[in-house]
Structure 1
């Protein structure tokens, strides 16, 4: 069994990041900043780096922020939702207007045009807004109108309810499904094709047509993973993305598994090289389009 234990992001300034996620998005500290454990640094290919980790939570979900010294490349200029390194966290909110008013004081860089967008029923009927944190990492505020997703968050307290999913842009949908559903055992929970002016304003790109595939890990279902495959517009960025864990454009899925060795074998059999810590308990791979996967014992 496995679960998405956390989302991990590389950032430039932990204090700035903490203030943004705390004051704008309702996250709280799980622990004070701490040195990144040596096995994790070994797996990430940074055995000699000085790195600090800040773990923050919202509800039962966790985001880990890593600051690495010396730092890598900054987030690329003028990023788009179609970029192969795009990965957002989706935060369900109790009330979109109130959430955006709280967030607005921190002046996030919007991805969406014209504020929050209500998608048509064929695209789920959700109301959503996408923006970027101070480093450039994207996030999404979302209101589910009804159905299982709304029921999943009905009893969560507060304005910002948790992390529903993390969505990654992929350029080859079949390859991504073979990796996550085949090698890692995720199950396809829902598939859709989103398009139209509302989707364009939400994503900040012209005339999009995007496959949206929800994948649930074998263990706990929250958070889950979404694949975003843009049939149009086509990306102009190289893939796999030319970034490593030291660079700020990187986000990693932290997968907690019962058998790290078996997961390593499955990832390697799928054709993705794996870096393993000396104790064998932590591993890292750059999966489809270079999206990071950190495997830990859990």
Structure 2
């Protein structure tokens, strides 16, 4: 459970996704699940909480209705906790018509994971030894971020400890739980970044519908990944323990549509809510939002009891609302690893 700061009973209600607590997980579709789990645990120091699958419906349309993929798609899934506050949900899909190359940083659907570390140069050496490829300048003259393409195709950046200013979430130094975390010097996930077709529309959706709070923005951001065009960007505080960066797609984009969940490079963003049905009722009334069926509760497997629902958004980022009965999930009987949870934190708390 996270270190929690409870909201005061006198805290006024604010707009946004009803009963939301925090970002629950960042989801990414990878080429090979075994390789991705090995990298995120053995190199980045994450903890494998559970695996599940195959997720499939050999004769019906459940996969298309609920996940937005081909009816005959088949998925294997793993949940890796990374640091104190973040969960990564990793998918490996096989599906008819699957695109097997991820979108680039200028493309709609491009994305990266930004990690805060104690020493970016030392962390970079650790990643290089593990087979990650450094992108851009090979020394610190390249700016405050170090960019790497991992052996499993995930684009990540490294930056040093951030300065707390009360607006953005800054991962705090903490004892490391394993040797890989210690070697990387991991502090936590600093933000996730998505490239969108329309930055203004995406910002309005995050702030007006989800209740995110702008932290900063730029008309001409130059700190993107190598190969990315200078572009407009905005950083948003998404709940108590997460930031989300939105970047405007470049003129040189080769892809103007986001990947499907079943494509390599597919992704979604999930929010922990206390009441999935109330959140779904609210989302049903929002312009451009498409609920993918109705909320349902998983009845078997490692996370039996999870109530969840995917939804499409007008900005091209697929999202999910979930409520997990953490503390009584079946996977907890088989491992000491635990999902990161919001604990007592509420969406507008600022620990």
1:137 equivalent in alignment to 2:154: yes
Q: Which runs of 4+ in 1 moved over 6 A?
A: 36-40
Question: TM-score if structure 2 supplies the norm length?
Answer: 0.69
- Closer, same or farther: CA 53–10 of 1 in aligned 2, 3 Å: same
- Tell me the alpha carbon deviations over residues 25-78 of structure 1, each in whole angstroms, 9 at most, x when there is no partner: 2222123x22267899562145664322111112221101112234732124xx
Closer, same or farther: CA 254–151 of 1 in aligned 2, 3 Å = closer
What is the root-mean-square deviation in Å for CA atoms of aligned residues? 3.0
Q: Distance in 2 between matches of 1:237 and 1:18?
A: 29
Structure 1 residues 240-262: Cα deviation after superposition (integer angstroms, max 9, x where no partner):
32x21111121111111223334
Q: Deviations over 1:138-167 (max 9, x none)?
A: 221111353446964234644112212111
Asked whether the 8 Å contact 1:215–1:225 carries over to 2, the reply is yes
Contact 1:144–1:150 (Cα < 8 Å) also in 2: no
* Alignment-derived partner of residue 78 in structure 2: 54
- Contact kept? 2:273, 2:323, Cα under 8 Å: yes
1:278 is displaced (CA, Å) by 6.0
Correspondence for 2:123: 99
Is the contact between residue 4 and residue 224 of structure 1 (CA under 8 Å) also seen in structure 2? no
Q: Map residues 109-188 of structure 1 onto 2, 5 A cutoff.
A: 109-114=133-138, 119=143, 127-144=144-161, 146-148=163-165, 152-155=171-174, 157=176, 158=182, 159-188=185-214
Structure with higher helix content:
1
Aligned length: 278
Distance 1:194 1:236, change over 3 A: closer
Other-structure match for 2:11:
none
Q: Normalized against structure 1, the TM-score is what? A: 0.80
- Within-5 A mapping of 1:230-245: 233-241=250-258, 243-245=259-261
Unaligned runs of 5+ in 2: 1-18, 177-181, 298-306, 325-351
Choose 1 or 2 for highest CA Rg: 2
Structure 1 spans left out of the alignment, 5+ residues: 120-126
Q: CA deviation at 1:277?
A: 4.6
1:247 paired with 2:263, answer yes
Closer, same or farther: CA 177–17 of 1 in aligned 2, 3 Å: same
